[in-house]
């Protein structure tokens, strides 16, 4: 049996995490349906505080949180997850490196130091 590579392991971990997120969302949805049904029965059948249909407000608030959870799983996590964060960090590091090289070139032109000593001085 061959040992999985780091890339295969990362792919597996990503798939496992996504599956876990989707499972959590599905559990939230099922719990929402059961809970909403219970609230309706409590208000309409058992006649708990029947002066107003309070269950409607509770269900809409709960639905809002379910929609936020859904957006988090399907929109925010895929686009702004760890990979996005890593890519943004790498871009910023490249931008910083270019600015550092430009500064180094400018200082060399001014005769502040030679290119051999520039990397030693800047990395200290």
Tokens of 41: 């029965």
The larger pLDDT score, comparing residue 4 to residue 59, is at 59
Could you tell me the residue ranges of all domains in the chain? 6-80, 92-124
Question: Hunting for tokens 């686009």 — which residue is that?
Answer: 79
Alpha-carbon distances of 122 from 60, 81, 92, 98, 116, rounded to whole Å: 58, 33, 18, 14, 11
* pLDDT above 90 for 109: no
Instruction: Select from 6, 12, 14, 8 the least CA-distant residue to 78.
Output: 14
Task: Please tell me the distance from the alpha carbon of residue 78 to that of residue 81, in angstroms, as a whole number.
Answer: 6
pLDDT tens track for 59-107:
999 999 999 999 999 988 877 777 778 888 889 999 999 999 999 888 8
With a threshold of 0.75, does the pTM exceed it? Answer: no
């Amino acid at each position: 049996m061959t040992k999985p590579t780091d890339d295969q392991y990362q792919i597996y971990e990503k798939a496992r995490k996504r599956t876990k997120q989707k499972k959590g969302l599905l559990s939230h949805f099922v719990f929402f349906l059961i809970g909403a049904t219970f609230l309706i029965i409590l208000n309409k059948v058992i006649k708990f505080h029947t002066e107003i249909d309070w269950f409607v407000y509770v269900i809409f608030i709960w639905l809002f949180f379910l929609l936020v959870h859904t957006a988090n799983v399907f929109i925010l996590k895929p686009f702004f997850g760890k990979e996005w964060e890593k890519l943004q960090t790498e871009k910023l590091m490249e931008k910083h490196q270019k600015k550092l090289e430009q500064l180094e070139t400018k200082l060399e032109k001014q005769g502040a130091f030679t290119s051999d000593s520039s990397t030693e001085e800047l990395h200290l």
